[in-house]
């Protein structure tokens, strides 16, 4: 092999105490590797502050173990037009503020101890673990990130962490982000960019990671079908350096390692980056799903697709199905005595049901608290028979007590029942029901146990009454058309003089 190297001052040494370091360029020294030249190193590289490396050839780090690239130079510069190849048998790390032209990865792991900037990333085998750092690809070409033939679909090599890609939507129709975790690849693809190019943005930051929070409060429907939970396989964060002025794209998310998906029963939803609140999931505005059976709607495709997306945030894959995994046919709350309230409920069918957490809120409290748990009576959480449940609450509170059931699945997803309110003392049978909460701008109120009509008032966050709703005993009253936000439902004197119903309602869109 021919070497064509220009050396100003170069110190090469072997040292058993520095097994990861073979090439060291001292302060004031420079190494120039010309076009066509190649250096293969059985170890790593250390560039001291004040040193300089010009690589227009190829540097190969090929060691039976780790071989780190450590650059302590202070002022950033470009290394040149050459390539750096990590071909070690062990894991390595890189730390540099300078710009690489090309990096190839063919080893188990490359860990970043700093951001790295490069024009081309060629992935053969192994993971790039960024931690809190990121890979920055400053070349806008589609293939500035590329998989080797031995890495089909980025199944053998991907980025575990953060990837920034500079983009040119007016001239490049497709960008791929080879993301994943420490086990598998879960890439993200933007395509159809040139039809209506995004404007006003220079780059996109993307990552893949675990889903935060539960599905309690998820209230999203599309084309008349409700989404019941977001898959726990993971979520993708995709953000831009600015809000796009216009434009849209088609988004594909690859669900390697996900379970529970079925054909035509999943779709991509969106919520703010960093959110763990299921009530914040929504259908991306003006977007659409491919028709049933088309690519992006079946499990065999390996990915979910949504067309005409025009914004960036957190994305997940949600599943549709029956509105509730448990069919609750009856739920009653009765005060038996001054000290005892009985809750009865009945299920007609159960699927993957762990059980029911009983939650209570007293009149002077601001939130519900769990007071007990009733495990499912079904076998392994599944039943098609009628099952009856009973729970006694020791409750001597003289004001209004609010109750609800939190049905919990075997995978810890949760759905709430209607809220029921009951008066203290006296053994009254008057109850008020409110459901669902949260909701999407419509909910129902029902009063049981009184004959005379009454009124329910809807109060906004500023304390203004925005609606007055006449209510009648045993007749459900549906409220429609509320905008997103927090409201208070107030029914004065429904339990007697001075004993009113008051509950917060959350409307999400």
Contacts of 497 (CB under 8 A, 6+ apart): none
**Residue 126 in contact with residue 158, Cβ under 8 Å?**
no
Other beta carbons within 10 angstroms of residue 282's beta carbon come to: 18
C-alpha to C-alpha distance for 237 and 179, rounded to whole angstroms: 10
Instruction: State yes or no: pLDDT of 492 exceeds 80.
Output: yes
Instruction: State yes or no: pLDDT of 227 exceeds 50.
Output: yes
pLDDT of residue 456: 87
| 85-137: pLDDT as tens digits | 999 999 999 999 999 999 999 999 999 999 999 999 999 999 999 999 999 99
pLDDT of residue 249: 98
> Cα–chain-centroid distance for residue 422?
39
Burial of 215 (C-beta count, 10 Å sphere; 0-12/13-18/19+): buried
pLDDT of residue 1: 40
Q: Would you mind telling me the total number of residues written for the chain in this entry?
A: 509
Q: Give me the mean pLDDT over the 500-508 stretch.
A: 79
Whether this model's pTM surpasses 0.75: no
Mean predicted lDDT score pLDDT of the chain: 88
pLDDT of residue 7: 40
Which of 171-180, 207-216, 456-465 has the highest average model confidence (pLDDT)? 171-180
pLDDT of residue 19: 42
pLDDT of residue 10: 43
Q: Output 438 or 51, whichever has higher pLDDT.
A: 51
pLDDT of residue 509: 53
Which of 252-261, 402-411, 439-448 has the highest average model confidence (pLDDT)? 252-261
Cis link prior to 238 (omega < 30° from 0)? Answer: no
**Residue 211 in contact with residue 234, Cβ under 8 Å?**
yes
Instruction: State yes or no: pLDDT of 442 exceeds 90.
Output: no
Share of the chain above pLDDT 70, in %: 92
Instruction: State yes or no: pLDDT of 5 exceeds 80.
Output: no
pLDDT confidence tier of residue 78, bands split at 50, 70 and 90: very high
pLDDT confidence tier of residue 16, bands split at 50, 70 and 90: very low
C-alpha to C-alpha distance for 289 and 196, rounded to whole angstroms: 18
C-alpha to C-alpha distance for 437 and 465, rounded to whole angstroms: 19
* DSSP code per residue over 117-138: EEEEEEEEEEEEEEEEEEEEE-
Instruction: State yes or no: pLDDT of 507 exceeds 80.
Output: no
Q: Give me the mean pLDDT over the 149-155 stretch.
A: 97
pLDDT of residue 322: 45
Between the CA of residue 324 and those of 198, 208, 235, 348, 404, what are the distances in Å? 39, 29, 23, 12, 15
pLDDT of residue 461: 84
C-alpha to C-alpha distance for 266 and 256, rounded to whole angstroms: 15
C-alpha to C-alpha distance for 32 and 466, rounded to whole angstroms: 75
Share of the chain above pLDDT 90, in %: 59
Q: Give me the mean pLDDT over the 337-351 stretch.
A: 89
Phi, psi (degrees; rounded to nearest 5) at 154: 60, 35
C-alpha to C-alpha distance for 384 and 419, rounded to whole angstroms: 25
pLDDT of residue 303: 98
| 246-282: pLDDT as tens digits | 999 999 999 999 988 889 989 999 999 999 998 889 9
What the block records as the tokens of 236 is 């993708």
pLDDT of residue 321: 59
C-alpha to C-alpha distance for 130 and 132, rounded to whole angstroms: 6
């Amino acid at each position: 092999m021919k070497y064509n190297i220009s050396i100003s001052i170069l110190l090469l040494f072997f040292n058993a105490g520095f097994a990861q370091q073979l090439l060291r360029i001292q302060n004031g020294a420079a190494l120039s590797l010309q076009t066509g030249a190649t250096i293969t190193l059985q170890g790593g590289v250390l560039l001291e502050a004040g040193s300089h490396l010009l690589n227009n050839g190829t540097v190969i780090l090929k060691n039976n173990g780790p071989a780190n690239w450590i650059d302590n130079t202070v002022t950033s510069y470009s290394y040149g037009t050459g390539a750096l190849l990590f071909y070690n048998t062990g894991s390595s790390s890189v730390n540099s503020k300078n710009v690489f032209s090309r990096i190839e990865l063919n080893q188990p792991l490359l860990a970043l101890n700093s951001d790295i900037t490069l024009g081309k990333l060629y992935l053969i085998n192994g993971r790039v673990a960024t931690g809190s750092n990121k890979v920055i690809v400053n070349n806008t070409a589609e293939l500035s990130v590329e998989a080797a033939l031995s890495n089909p679909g980025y199944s053998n090599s991907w980025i575990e962490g953060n990837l920034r890609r500079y983009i040119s939507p007016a001239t490049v129709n497709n960008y791929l982000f080879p993301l994943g975790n420490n086990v598998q690849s879960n890439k993200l693809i933007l395509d159809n960019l040139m039809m209506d190019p995004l404007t006003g943005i220079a780059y996109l930051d993307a990552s893949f990671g675990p889903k935060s929070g539960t599905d309690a409060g998820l209230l999203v429907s599309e084309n008349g079908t409700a989404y019941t939970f977001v898959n726990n396989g993971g979520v993708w964060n995709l953000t831009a350096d600015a809000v796009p002025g216009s434009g849209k794209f088609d988004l594909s998310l690859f669900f390697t390692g996900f379970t529970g998906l079925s054909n035509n029963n999943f779709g991509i939803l969106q919520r703010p980056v960093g959110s763990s609140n299921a009530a914040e999931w929504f259908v991306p505005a003006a977007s659409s799903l491919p028709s049933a059976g088309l690519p992006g709607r079946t499990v065999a495709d390996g990915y979910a697709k949504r067309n005409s997306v025009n914004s960036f945030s957190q994305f997940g894959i949600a599943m549709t199905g029956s509105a509730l995994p448990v069919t609750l046919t009856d739920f009653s709350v009765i005060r038996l005595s001054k000290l005892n309230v009985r809750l009865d409920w009945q299920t007609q069918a159960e699927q993957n049901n762990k059980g029911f957490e009983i939650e209570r809120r007293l009149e002077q409290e601001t939130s519900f608290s769990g007071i007990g748990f009733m495990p499912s009576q079904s076998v392994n959480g599944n039943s098609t028979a009628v099952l009856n449940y009973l729970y006694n609450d020791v409750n001597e509170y003289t004001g209004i007590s609010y109750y609800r059931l939190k049905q919990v699945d075997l995978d810890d997803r949760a759905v709430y029942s209607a809220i029921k309110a009951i008066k203290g003392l006296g053994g009254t049978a008057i109850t008020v029901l409110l459901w669902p909460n949260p909701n999407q701008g419509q909910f129902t109120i029902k009063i049981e146990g009184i004959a005379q009509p009454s009124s329910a008032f809807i109060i906004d966050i500023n304390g203004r009454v925005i609606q007055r709703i006449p209510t009648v005993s045993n007749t459900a009253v549906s409220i429609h058309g509320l905008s997103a936000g927090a409201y208070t439902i107030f029914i004065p004197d429904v339990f007697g003089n001075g004993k009113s119903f008051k509950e917060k309602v959350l409307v999400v869109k």
